[in-house]
Homo-oligomer: A and B are copies of this chain.
């Protein structure tokens, strides 16, 4: 019967929803198997029928993050000028990190999802690669239209990603408070503005 499969998938989703709830509301420290299952009224051992281990749960959560980020990027396909689209992607990326700081951490900082990948046979970070490819395509588009002369697509793409990730993760971990201008979020936006102007003159 396929009712079984449907039920199993249902419980799986319930576990993930509860996990997401605990994780975003109470943080990584409080995200324990026992705290997750108490929401849906199951025993701790039950989750091991649906997931291999905690790393797989965290991995599944990090995929949900990528789904949302991808959605935000797709809207920007309407921006035809590749440089403008590139800038907008950066702003969208930063805004995503402001909206979902915990999720961002899971996607781009935490060891947990990567740990799960290493446990598998092929350590391919598909979600990360797809997102990076979106960036790479846009940078390639810029170069095709004459922007960034003399720069390498691969290295430049990684540079741009590192740029925004660096700002966002320093801010996220409470390490951006030393710049004396305005709020910590502002230093991120201001510095990104500086970077946009850098790109203009690249």
Whether A195 contacts B109 in the complex (CB less than 8 A), given A165-B169, A165-B170, comes out as no
Whether A180 contacts B163 in the complex (CB less than 8 A), given A125-B175, A169-B169, comes out as no
Query: How many A residues have CB within 8 A of the partner chain?
Result: 48
Residue pair B111, A177 in contact (C-beta under 8 Å): no
CA A162 – CA B191 in complex, angstroms? Answer: 9
Residue pair B108, A194 in contact (C-beta under 8 Å): no
Residues in B whose Cβ lies below 8 Å from that of A109: 109, 169, 173
Residues in B whose Cβ lies below 8 Å from that of A154: 179-181, 187, 190
Residues in B whose Cβ lies below 8 Å from that of A193: 155
Copies in the complex: 2
Q: Which chain A residues in 64-109 approach chain B with CB under 8 Å? A: 108-109
When the two chains form the complex, which single residue of B169, B173, B177, B179 contacts A166, counting CB atoms closer than 8 Å?
Answer: B169
Residues in B whose Cβ lies below 8 Å from that of A194: 151-152, 155-156, 159
CA A158 – CA B114 in complex, angstroms? Answer: 28
Tell me if A44 counts as interface (CB < 8 A to partner B): no
Can you list, as one digit per residue, whether each of A161-189 has a CB less than 8 Å from chain B (1) or not (0)? Answer: 11111110110011111111100000100
Tell me if A59 counts as interface (CB < 8 A to partner B): no
CA A167 – CA B159 in complex, angstroms? Answer: 7
Residue pair A175, B128 in contact (C-beta under 8 Å): yes
Q: Quote the shortest CB–CB distance from A46 to chain B (angstroms).
A: 25
